[in-house]
Chain A
């Protein structure tokens, strides 16, 4: 069973469209995250939610809106997609304290 699963795995779309990426974890963790990895392979945190409450928002444009319907899900909605949004987006989850984060396999977003 996949611990952290993301859908879709690949997403190709036109500039200006709105799209969503879904993430689910079956580890019983309280905290979930979204990371962005750009073409230079730098991995940067975007958001963190703890028990459906937003904890971290790292200067991400308002076009990105995370939504957590319950603590096992953290979805990422992106409005008015731009060329610079092309990247791999990773979801992760962790328990509280010093426990490590577990990552999904990523969603590869390409903007045409």
Chain B
């Protein structure tokens, strides 16, 4: 079972920041938080990951709370092409590092 809880769907206006929350209250100290997205049945696409510090890359920012029990993915200027299902995943980075996908959040970007 997935160890994360996400809202099933969210709307965001084009050009605004999209903030996607994720709860992972049972996260262990050695588990990373990863975000992927899946656009219209394409293969899942990696976005960003972090352990405890906030992270930023060219796609998004990841904000992890100090107790690590929740995180927020921020798409700073959402476009229509960001419409997708976003998955928040926690996993240990060992050799046996399967990803367990939950149901994700379906993000609709509104024109």
Contacts and interface: CB of A to CB of B under 8 A. Distances in A.
A96 interface: yes
State which size class the interface on B falls in: 20 to 34
A79 interface: no
Interface of A is mostly: strand
Interface residues of A, number: 29
Contacts of B34: 100
B96 A101 contact: no
Contact of B42 (A101, A102, A105): A105
A4 B43 contact: yes
Interface in A68-112: 88, 90, 92, 94, 96-106
A1 interface: no
B96 A48 contact: yes
Contacts, number: 55
A56 B45 CA distance: 22
Given A43-B101, A90-B44, 14 more contacts: A31-B97, A42-B101, A43-B87, A44-B101, A45-B99, A55-B95, A56-B98, A100-B36, A100-B46, A100-B49, A103-B45, A106-B41, A106-B42, A106-B43
Interface of A: 4, 31, 33, 37, 41-45, 48, 50, 55-56, 58, 88, 90, 92, 94, 96-106
